[in-house]
Chains A and B, each alone.
Chain A
Amino acid sequence: MMSNLIKKIGGGLALAMYSMLAQAEYAINFPKPVTVIAGQIYDLHMITMWIIVGIAVVVYGAMFYSILKHRKSVGHKAANFHHNTMIEIVWTTIPLLILIGMAYPATKSVLAMRDSSNPDMTVKITGYQWKWEYDYQQEGFKFMSVLSTPRDQFELKGTAAKNENYLLEVDNPMVVPVGKKVRILLTANDVIHAWWVPTFGIKQDAIPGFIKDSWFKADKAGTYRGQCAELCGKDHGYMPIVVEVKEQADYDKWVAEQKSKSAAATQDTNKVYELAELKSIGEKVYATNCAGCHQAKGEGMAPVFPALDGSKMVKGPKQAQIDIVMNGKAGTAMSAFGKQLSDTDVAAVITYTRNAWGNHTGEAIQPSEIKASRK
């Protein structure tokens, strides 16, 4: 349909592009909708485009006819008219009527998409710099969802071959059952983000300090991908959204797995770990949560993101470091990880930074110390 539009508007350039489009599978329109709302948006867009095509044919037709015929080089003499009240009334009224015609279906669609009442389930989604947290409050578990494309594929001058879903893949996708109305409650921890899945026709800003809601009901099982749509700092381009829509039975199985995982995580808060054990957990936590700013080898990116390797803070008394990791630093991108990570993960990552690269404190921070600092 878009390609028809181009043909109509087209100059030579557009025609050249059109033939290219015909050869390859370029996406030139919205992706195929999987929710009723996305379908309505698709149709509204098509209606609007056709109206525009119609107007364009008339406007450009008149313009180019005039350019071809009413030129001095073909000897056309200039007329001298300069107004005509009738035609001016006509071309003010007709667009007005067209717009009223367009507003009607648009209004119906707005009312439908904003009606988040009577959901089958609710998930609270929190945006962090630069990851998403999915909190299944009714089920009692939550998890972080972070970009899973290996770093060597997207780092500066990286040469590694790129995955099929480069920059659109995460470690823990959101999972929902098919055909259920899922209400999402959106907020953010630090700056404004936006949760956007094109195939669902849903985009909602996540605003720190406020909870906004939206909803979707996916009609087809499958994996659907989106991205953060509101500039949220350095790694705005690296916080994708993946939603897996599963059949109810598979979804129930997934919920049970998540519940047992989360129960296991709470229990081991009291466990005492060996230094090596903490370091190996911490290394993974560091890679997903810290390396984006402080870099893989702790060298940081001066002056915005301080180095951890050789840092006075990291080599100094542990309580100061626990404080900053747990509570963040106001006015910077250092967020309060106490709200995002489990006691074990915080303990492990602090232990890791205090014993990695050139840092050799030999200290093992135990989860119980983190738990104590939460009080």
Chain B
Amino acid sequence: MEAVHDHGHEHHPSGIMRWVTTTNHKDIGTLYLFFSLIMFFFAGSLAMGIRAELFQPGLQFMQPNTFNQLTTMHGLIMVFGAIMPAFVGFANWQVPLMIGAPDMALPRLNNWSFWLLPMAAILLVGSFFVPGGAAAGGWTMYPPLFIQGGLSGDMTIFAVHILGISSILGSINIITTIMNMRAPGMTYMKMPLFVWTWFITAFLLVAVMPVLAGAVTMLLTDRHFDTHFFNAAGGGDPVMFQHIFWFFGHPEVYIMILPAFGIVSSIIPTFARKPLFGYASMVYATASIAILSFIVWAHHMYSVGMPTAAQLYFMYATMLIAVPTGVKVFNWIATMWEGSMTFETPMLFAIAFVALFTIGGFTGIVLAVVPVDIQLQDTYYVVAHFHYVLVSGSLFAIFAGAYYWLPKWTGHMYNETLGKWHFWLSMIGFNILFFPQHFLGLAGMPRRIPDYALQFADFNMISSIGGFMFGATQLLFVIVVIKCVRGGTKATAQVWEGADTLEWTIPSPAPYHTFATPPVIK
């Protein structure tokens, strides 16, 4: 088996043109990851603005409209610019390496999928500088409010279009790669779980991104051509937008968490030195979650006044999701059980993922119950819930994955001490930031408000302190990554004692071209 195809040199232009013209899955993976890191810091600094304004009652730093711009763009950019591209970056790097393929199936398409992203980012970031400022109607873009906005509304709509095209192309590429380029002997049920979760995620993306594109296109024509899709006076219905949006939006939630499940399912067995428990049930649970995600969308809209029967149906369907999600958590714990665990940074983030994502899952059950949700809809409880899922869920999995594979990507070990500092400060800062928000929501603080009644002052101050701590801590991550790229202890091919997927059979750093001759899986 010739795992490494080595002509002794790499064929590519140097300098900036290497990155502009590259069709190499590793280069493109790197581009995705750095892009998402930059967007993460941009959207994160918007969040710092939000927490600064909410530090105490009264307006200290900005007018309410500016505040709404921050919340809107924080959400949009984190979802579409930071979390999703980061997972695509992981897919680019890891899917070919884990299935023993030489590259992605459609390398030029791959280049195009990435280079669409900076265009969308320019539109989104640039919208802060047009008259009227950035979009301020919430990341969910509900009409009629969104229709009131200025030029930035159109820029946001076009950015969403571009991001959608990028996601669809990227997903087609991933599906094609996984279906056609698996090494001989790698049957579907032998694929690493990360590959499985991305395979399913890619189908979700292909299914729902066009729905979002349709919804925002209708917004666009409502804004400029009086189509009245969402205007009751013209025969339309504002609530229809919400149905269409959440038909996209709920699968989107799983698009942002399934690859995280895959990363964590790679890491926990490695550091427990024990095979993943219930591989088959993990695959089936992932597929069940994906299918269920299409039939629960209206639980985001309990307060619009749907018929009672519809409310009941969406409540039952939503509660059902807890079952496969629970199976996953049990499987991870069963994987740790009777293992021989060590706690390097990737494992710490993976364990924090399991522990804190579970809290997000618990509050999800609370929110599924219609009468309780009626109280909690659009409050800080919901904000806390989805940050437990998206920050300590998706983001922590991204950190875990980054620490796990950095040695393979760079050829150097990252600094374990700094990594542990990053973990513990993130973990503590995150909980100070978001745990009190549960209380704020229960006590009755609505979300998306720039100022609040005095009874909410203390928990907001605590939350803001946690926010600044969490935000500042992320600079440590940049330091760790830069140090790791520039040097450090040489990494072995195996890197982690308990790792057993294909990427660990090639040298570190992974050569520019790998698996030109496919490995044979027994």
Contacts and interface: CB of A to CB of B under 8 A. Distances in A.
A79 B274 CA distance: 7
B452 A167 contact: yes
Interface in A36-50: 37-38, 40-41, 44-45, 48-49
B375 A41 contact: yes
B468 interface: no
Interface stretch (A134-142, A170-178, A231-239, A358-366): A231-239
A114 interface: yes
Contacts of A154: 58-59, 451
B371 A109 contact: yes
A157 B303 contact: no
Contacts of B340: 70-72, 76-78
A73 interface: yes
Interface stretch (B22-30, B61-69, B193-201, B475-483): B61-69
Interface string B100-135: 000000000000000000000000000000011000
Given A66-B333, A92-B323, A204-B305, A304 B455 contact: no
Contacts of B232: 207-210
Interface in B305-345: 305, 308, 311-312, 315-316, 319-320, 322-323, 326-327, 329-330, 333-334, 336-343
Interface in A65-109: 66-67, 70-73, 76-84, 87-88, 91-92, 95-96, 99, 102-103, 106-107, 109
Given A154-B59, A156-B62, A228 B446 contact: yes
Nearest to B354: A63
Interface stretch (A52-60, A273-281, A347-355): A52-60
A95 B322 contact: yes
Interface SS majority for chain A? mixed
Nearest to B305: A212
A196 interface: yes
Nearest to B378: A229
A84 B238 CA distance: 50
B239 interface: yes
A22 to B, nearest CB: 14
A26 B343 contact: no
Nearest to B372: A45
A182 interface: no
Interface in B250-283: 272-281
B320 A99 contact: yes
A77 B339 CA distance: 7
A19 interface: no
A99 B453 contact: no
B50 to A, nearest CB: 13
B442 interface: yes
A198 B375 contact: yes
Interface string A338-350: 0000000000000
A71 B431 contact: no
Contact of A82 (B279, B365, B448): B279
A331 interface: yes
Given A48-B366, A155-B59, A304-B132, A60 B355 contact: yes
B68 A205 contact: no
Contacts of B58: 153-154, 158, 162
A157 B378 CA distance: 27
A95 B312 CA distance: 19
B323 A191 contact: no
B511 interface: no
A291 interface: no
B277 A83 contact: yes
A2 interface: yes
Contacts of B65: 234, 301, 304
B242 to A, nearest CB: 9
Contacts of B337: 62, 66, 70, 79
A145 interface: no
A201 to B, nearest CB: 6
B494 interface: no
Interface in A156-196: 156-158, 162, 164-168, 186, 190-192, 194, 196
Interface residues of B, number: 102
B144 A191 contact: yes
A40 B377 contact: no
Contact of B68 (A212, A231, A331): A231
Contacts of A333: 148
A109 B312 CA distance: 11
Interface in A232-262: 232-238
Most chain-B Cβ atoms within 10 A of its Cβ — which of A27, A62, A232? A27
Contacts of B370: 106, 109-110
A229 B312 CA distance: 22
A237 B64 contact: yes
Contacts of A191: 144-145, 148
A192 B442 contact: no
Contacts of A113: 371, 374
Nearest to B236: A209
A150 interface: no
Interface string B446-461: 1111111111001100
A210 B239 CA distance: 10
B273 A78 contact: yes
Given A107-B312, A191-B145, A24 B458 contact: yes
Given A55-B362, A106-B315, A205 B304 contact: yes
B354 A99 contact: no
Interface string A202-232: 1111011110111000000000001111111
B191 interface: no
Contact of A201 (B138, B311, B371, B454): B371
B443 A237 contact: no
A267 interface: no
Contact of A2 (B281, B359, B442): B442
Contact of A202 (B144, B374, B432): B374
B351 A48 contact: no
Interface in B354-411: 354-355, 358-359, 362, 365-366, 369-372, 374-375, 377-379
A132 to B, nearest CB: 15
A192 B59 contact: no
Contacts of B138: 231
A17 B436 contact: yes
Most chain-B Cβ atoms within 10 A of its Cβ — which of A91, A109, A165? A91
Contacts of A103: 315-316, 319
19 contacts: A29-B442, A38-B375, A45-B372, A56-B358, A70-B336, A71-B340, A72-B341, A76-B341, A88-B281, A92-B326, A162-B454, A191-B148, A192-B238, A212-B304, A233-B136, A233-B148, A235-B64, A236-B64, A332-B148
Interface of A: 2, 9, 11, 13-14, 17, 24, 26-31, 37-38, 40-41, 44-45, 48-49, 52, 55-56, 59-60, 62-63, 66-67, 70-73, 76-84, 87-88, 91-92, 95-96, 99, 102-103, 106-107, 109-111, 113-114, 153-158, 162, 164-168, 186, 190-192, 194, 196, 198, 201-205, 207-210, 212-214, 226-238, 301, 303-304, 331-333
Which 10 pairs across A and B sit closest by C-beta, in order of nearness? A209-B232, A237-B449, A212-B305, A27-B443, A79-B338, A78-B340, A82-B275, A191-B145, A78-B273, A229-B378
Given A71-B341, A203-B375, A234-B136, 4 more contacts: A9-B359, A24-B458, A48-B365, A113-B371
